[in-house]
Amino acid sequence: MQFEFSDEQQELRDSVRRFFERECPVTAVRAVIDAGTGYDPALWRKVGDGAFLATAIPEEYGGIGAGYLELCVVAEECGRVLAPLPTLSAIYQVAEYLMIAGSEAQKRRWLPRIAAAEAIGALALNEGVGEMRADRVAARVSGGRLIGEKLPVADGMAADFAIVAARDEAETLGFYLVELDAPGVAREAVETLDPSRGHARIVFSGAEAEPLGKGDRGWTLVEEIRDRAAVPAAFEQVGGADRALADARDYALGRYAFGRPIASFQAIKHMLADVYVANELARSNAYYGAWALSAGSDKLSLAAASARVAATAAFQRASASNIQVHGGMGFTWEYDCHLYYRRSAYLALALGGPSLWEDRLIEFRRAAAA
Amino acid sequence: MNFDDTPEEAVFRAKARQWIADNAPHELDAELRASTEGKLRLTSVDPLVAARDWQRRKSEAGWATPHWPVEYGGGGLNSIQRVIWSEEEGLYAKLSQHFLIGVGMCGPTMMAWASEGQKRERLPKLSSGEEIWCQLFSEPAAGSDLAGIRTRAVRDGDDWVINGQKIWTSYAREARWGLLITRTDPTVAKHSGLTMFFLDMRSPGVEVRPIRQMNNEASFNEVFFTDVRIPDAQRLGAPGQGWEVALTTLMNERATLAGRVDTGFDELLDFCERLETGSNRRAIDDARVRSRLAQFAIRDSGLRFTAFRSISALSRGAQPGPENSIGKLVSAVVEQDMAQFALDLEGEAGLLADPALASDRGRFQSILLRSPSMRIAGGSDEILRNIIAERVLGLPADIRADKDVAFEDIPTAATAQRG
């Protein structure tokens, strides 16, 4: 038993942190928001050069093949700097769809390009308002052509291809690879809570659709990969929550009122202590998730749900408290507080919202207790 | 990162499990299961007798204080083995509560500050449960402001003479020894005039009075000292060094409380599985119930894994730090919230406190009435938040009206009234 990252993983963290501090200052995040590009192509290419996000992709497909603990380390650092990168879509999900369900040819075609940041894959499940379930998939594939509308699709504008949930002529739900520059695809950027990670509406009108793998995987694949993605996503949330806490702390130490730093008032001290506690509980749950993911444990579903619920709560609390500590300045566009608040909202809802994960958490705790 | 046992750890776990299977008081299983944390509900046997019996059996096999050095009654186990042991001890750990203060706080303080002879004499008996210890710290006018204690110790030849009063002392009635913090110099600033002793609770002039608590039990006591004599040899640290000695105790207190993170979540989950809320409907079927449970669950698992992380750090030689304040801060509130939630699910019958009539023999009613004490004892919620804010986050200390003032000149309610 060992409940910490190894020395080598800590060294990786240090070097990745230095990289992101240099290459992804908050001005870079703001530039993405101002330009409306939805991600930072230059940063994405540099990440590809360092293969930071390819740690869990096997070497034979162009990755590092180091594993998921390393991916979690990198994810936390991405979260800390609010990296405007397609991590949840391309890395935590689409790469997993390919590795778990893709054909050999599909893996060879796309995984090396994702690993090198030469291609972005998006995941197109959602079809409008409401929790995404199998019975809400209306997109349809007939004769290898896809018709339907997907909204919202994370990184849908930046992506080269998408994995799309759709039904075939026999009403069977499946997953299809669709290239997004092909005919029969129309896409537009949509306004979301967090413009540093762009989203799109994609309308498919007869686009060419290739079944993922043998085309025999149903909705359980979505749940399986969501469990896997929830763990690095939780690390992004933990990283963001820690940064929001540090931001609040720094401001409280520097801001004077009533003749003293506001950090000396118990109202502020106790608020930040509670943020710290929530962050630590989230971190500990996330560590368990990282282990379960990396070890291929049968406890992954429980661990992922625990990590996800705790990390969502922590980041939401930390980012809201950060605004509160900043007072009126926290409500301005100029100060960075809203960037963390927006990112916490995006990460809370991506992969399904908090109540979905609360429900799964209890389902799996019940199973563990039985 | 590895939450599984290594092959060596698996062998150790099997050994611990086998020993428990062969030696634990299995006849008490049902009663122990019905006992909430902090309250032994044993009727078939005197709880103290059962507790001492289990402690002695563990001690003979080296499991009582498994992380202590062997010469002081320990088993010489490392931190990870200690986690494995406590996981395996499970239910029977509830029998250890009489000894927690001794093992967790007084023992480590003695280990750091007592003479070698004193350690060899006292610690094995503490470990085996033969001698129970209590912590004589809080006073009527000094709780969160612990350094404001007023119990006086005055040097008289080879002895010190003690006069004053302590309060909120757990197990004072059963204790043979107590760790006592006193004021030896009121003319200097409050932290500087303190001195620590260990006291034979059978000394003449020691009087223990149980406190009738809001939950109609009496686990806490008042302890009065009238001209109690303590040999100077039982002083821990130099005169005036008492605060430093107390910090050893308090830091270990936090680590001890952090290590015991059974929030009772599994019992609440089980309760929701069983509680009927309609025809063919249980509480657990309600999405609102599951949502609340999930928020409790992340605290339960989060505390457990946070304790594991602390132990990993300790196993690499770290000292128990202020971050250990999390454990009690979270678990005390969670216990209270979970009790209120469980009673809500019972409808108006949640009022029933008679164990014969209430669901689960009144488990949650009992926790509800006990839980306020958990949020105060061992550092109140507010003190723990201050510790996290100041010692972990590096925020400024509170502005104090008594800083650098001689203890005897610090304002009190009495001096304020006199104007």
Asked whether the bond before A152 is cis by omega within 30 degrees of 0, the reply is yes
Q: Do B264 and B342 contact (CB within 8 A), yes or no? A: no
Average model confidence (pLDDT) across chain A: 97
Burial class (CB in 10 A: 0-12, 13-18, 19+), A370: exposed
Query: Each residue of B322-339: pLDDT tens digit?
Result: 877 898 899 999 999 999
Q: Which residues of A touch B329 (CB under 8 A)?
A: 277
Percentage of chain B beyond pLDDT 90 is: 76
Q: Where are the domains of chain B?
A: 7-100+116-131, 134-241, 261-379
Q: Give the lowest-confidence range in A231-240, B50-59, B81-90, B227-236.
A: B81-90
Confidence at residue B315, expressed as pLDDT on a 0 to 100 scale = 78
Q: Does residue A120 surpass a pLDDT of 70?
A: yes
Greater confidence (A236 vs B403) lies with A236
User: B37, B131, B253, B346: which is the annotated catalytic residue?
Assistant: B253
pLDDT band at B13 (very low <50, low <70, confident <90, very high): very high
User: B290 at the A interface (CB within 8 A)?
Assistant: yes
- Write the single-letter amino acid at B214: M
Confidence at residue B37, expressed as pLDDT on a 0 to 100 scale = 60
Interface A–B counts its CB contacts (< 8 A) at 164
Q: What residues does CATH 1.20.140.10 cover in chain A?
A: 220-369
Q: Is B253 a catalytic residue?
A: yes
Confidence at residue A38, expressed as pLDDT on a 0 to 100 scale = 97
Least CB-CB distance to B297: which of A276, A282, A306? Answer: A306
Confidence at residue B255, expressed as pLDDT on a 0 to 100 scale = 64
> Which CATH number applies to A220-369?
1.20.140.10
Dihedral (CA of B243, B245, B246, B247) sign: positive
Residue A258 CA to chain centroid, in angstroms?
42
Q: Does residue A162 surpass a pLDDT of 90?
A: yes
User: A310 at the B interface (CB within 8 A)?
Assistant: yes
Percentage of chain A beyond pLDDT 70 is: 100
Query: Each residue of B30-55: pLDDT tens digit?
Result: 999 888 766 777 888 999 999 999 99
Greater confidence (B228 vs B250) lies with B228
Average model confidence (pLDDT) across chain B: 92
Q: What residues does CATH 2.40.110.10 cover in chain A?
A: 122-211
Distance CA A49, CA A118 (A): 10
> Which CATH number applies to B261-379?
1.20.140.10
Percentage of chain B beyond pLDDT 70 is: 97
Q: Does domain A7-120 have CATH number 1.10.540.10?
A: yes
> Which CATH number applies to B134-241?
2.40.110.10
Query: Each residue of A13-24: pLDDT tens digit?
Result: 999 999 999 999
Q: Does residue A47 surpass a pLDDT of 90?
A: yes
* Selected residue of A5, A253, A277 to mutate for chain B interface (largest B Cβ count, 10 A): A277
Q: Extract long-range pairs of A24-33: CB within 8 Å, 24+ residues apart.
A: A24/A81, A24/A82, A24/A83, A24/A84, A25/A81, A26/A81, A26/A82, A26/A336, A26/A339, A28/A84, A29/A81, A29/A82, A29/A83, A29/A84, A29/A196, A29/A339, A30/A339, A32/A84, A32/A195, A32/A196, A33/A195, A33/A196, A33/A339
The CATH homologous superfamily for domain B7-100+116-131 is Acyl-CoA dehydrogenase/oxidase, N-terminal domain (1.10.540.10)
Q: Does residue B236 surpass a pLDDT of 80?
A: yes
Helix (H) or strand (E) holding B305: helix B287-315
Confidence at residue B260, expressed as pLDDT on a 0 to 100 scale = 56
Confidence at residue B87, expressed as pLDDT on a 0 to 100 scale = 86
Q: Does residue B258 surpass a pLDDT of 60?
A: no
Confidence at residue B83, expressed as pLDDT on a 0 to 100 scale = 83
Which architecture, in CATH terms, is A122-211? Beta Barrel (2.40)
Query: Each residue of B156-188: pLDDT tens digit?
Result: 999 999 999 999 999 999 999 999 999 999 999
User: B83 at the A interface (CB within 8 A)?
Assistant: yes
Distance CA A353, CA A345 (A): 10
Q: Do A120 and A114 contact (CB within 8 A), yes or no? A: yes
Average pLDDT over residues A314-338: 98
Q: Does residue B136 surpass a pLDDT of 60?
A: yes
B17 to chain A, minimum CA–CA distance in Å?
A: 17
Q: Do B95 and B242 contact (CB within 8 A), yes or no? A: no
For residue B418, give both structure tokens.
């006199």
Contacts of residue A109, defined as CB under 8 A and 6 or more positions apart, other chains included, come to none
Q: Which residues of A touch B380 (CB under 8 A)?
A: none
For residue B237, give both structure tokens.
């640290």
How many other C-beta atoms are found inside a 10 Å radius of the C-beta of residue B272? 23
Q: What residues does CATH 1.10.540.10 cover in chain A?
A: 7-120
Backbone angles phi, psi at A153, to 5 degrees: -115, 115
